[in-house]
Each structure stands twice: as structure tokens, then as C-alpha cells.
Structure 1
Amino acid sequence: MPRPRRHPAEVTSDRLGDALDKWPNDFDGQARDAVAFIRQILENIAERAGGE
């Protein structure tokens, strides 16, 4: 059975998280806070859309 398609906002959030893991030295504390803020917004968008 194929996996349901993930919402683009969820995919983008995950990619931002991956960037933090891949290049940790390029993100200072302020940048990490900004990424966390944007990721939360994207996750909320995906939840409201119901994973369309």
C-alpha cells in the first residue's frame, strides 16, 4: 500500500530541520530560533490542511 502524500509545508519543515543537522556550525542561536519559529508555522499549516 502506497504511503499517503505529505503536505508540502511538512516536507519543507523537515528539510529545514535537515539543514540544521547537516550544517550545524552555520546556524547561530538566533538563526536556530528563527528556523524553529518557521517550522512551527509550517507544521500548523500542514495540520490544518489535514495532510493533503
Structure 2
Amino acid sequence: MEKILQSVGNYGFPIIVSIYLLVRIEFKLDQLTKSISGLRDAILVFTRAR
């Protein structure tokens, strides 16, 4: 029983933290993609107005 708890402590916590960070990074990348797309559209509108 002690060995199982030790294994969960050694491997479970890093796995949970890794999954959490991957989900956060994915969300941030989606936001950055939307922002870059918006900037591209704004640049196109600006250059066409000239």
C-alpha cells in the first residue's frame, strides 16, 4: 500500500501538473492566434485605405 501511495506521489503529481500546463498553453495559443488574425485583418484594411 505504501509503495502505491509513493508511486502516485512520484508520478501522479507531475502528470497532473503537465496536463494542467498543456491545457493552459493551448488556451493561450488560441488567444494569440485570434489576436494575430485580427492584426492581419487590421493591417489589410489599413493598407487598402491608403
Q: TM-score, normalised by structure 1?
A: 0.45
Larger RCO (CA within 8 A; separation ≥ 6): 1
Larger radius of gyration: 2
Q: TM-score, normalised by structure 2?
A: 0.46
